[in-house]
Chain A
Amino acid sequence: DAGVIQSPRHEVTEMGQEVTLRCKPISGHNSLFWYRQTMMRGLELLIYFNNNVPIDDSGMPEDRFSAKMPNASFSTLKIQPSEPRDSAVYFCASSFGELAGMNTEAFFGQGTRLTVV
């Protein structure tokens, strides 16, 4: 398997624009996680899905952020409108476990470095 695939790897956008980050989890994994990493806040869990269903989105900072998982092989994280403080590296991770959550090894994608100017 190619691992967790994220696109784009880098994104530079102007404030106010819509940004969509994409993630393809490892085939067969049933949990998917979106994390945001900054120097100030470290690795923050934004939302996670189990069997394509959002389980916990309490980490989503504002209504400007939304995430979807229409099927087992694809997820998106959308920011609309984007702001400079959204600049960060966004990681997607997937895992397989009997129950919801990261109870087994999670595999991270290479991340999307987002810069909002």
Chain B
Amino acid sequence: QQPVQSPQAVILREGEDAVINCSSSKALYSVHWYRQKHGEAPVFLMILLKGGEQKGHDKISASFNEKKQQSSLYLTASQLSYSGTYFCGTEILGALKTSYDKVIFGPGTSLSVIP
């Protein structure tokens, strides 16, 4: 049930853009994105609920395509502070269609922004 993330790792220069993808083999109720810096705890970025919405957080935004069971995280004009490991967490669509369930995190995408 663990979602698949791609790429596994990416190196960017400051100002460049990046896209991190997250996909599931099962229908999803929600997708959660977190960033973890080395030696620190994961920090919440955003949650996307079924309905195909797109959200933004400063220069970081995400989309959720429930038909394709995929989500993408977009980082534009990357900054040094964006470096870290990005995790997507997926919540499977329950039988009741609105029931919440546990969030399973993907393996993470390591992003390094260099000057």
Contact = CB atoms under 8 A, between A and B. Distances in A.
Contacts of B44: 105-107
Nearest to A95: B44
Contacts of A48: 102
Contact of A103 (B91, B106, B108): B91
B99 interface: yes
B10 to A, nearest CB: 17
Contacts of B84: none
B47 A101 contact: no
Contact of B100 (A59, A101, A111): A101
Nearest to A106: B44
Interface residues of A, number: 23
A104 B30 CA distance: 10
B104 A91 contact: no
B101 interface: yes
B107 A42 contact: yes
A45 B104 contact: yes
B40 interface: yes
A76 B113 CA distance: 37
A43 B99 contact: no
B47 A105 contact: yes
A108 interface: yes
B58 to A, nearest CB: 16
A91 B87 contact: no
B41 A101 contact: no
A103 B30 contact: yes
Contacts of B30: 103
22 contacts: A42-B106, A43-B42, A43-B105, A45-B102, A45-B103, A56-B101, A91-B41, A97-B100, A101-B91, A101-B100, A101-B102, A101-B103, A102-B91, A102-B100, A103-B30, A104-B47, A105-B44, A105-B47, A106-B103, A108-B42, A109-B41, A110-B41
Interface of A: 35, 42-45, 48, 56, 59, 91, 97, 99-111
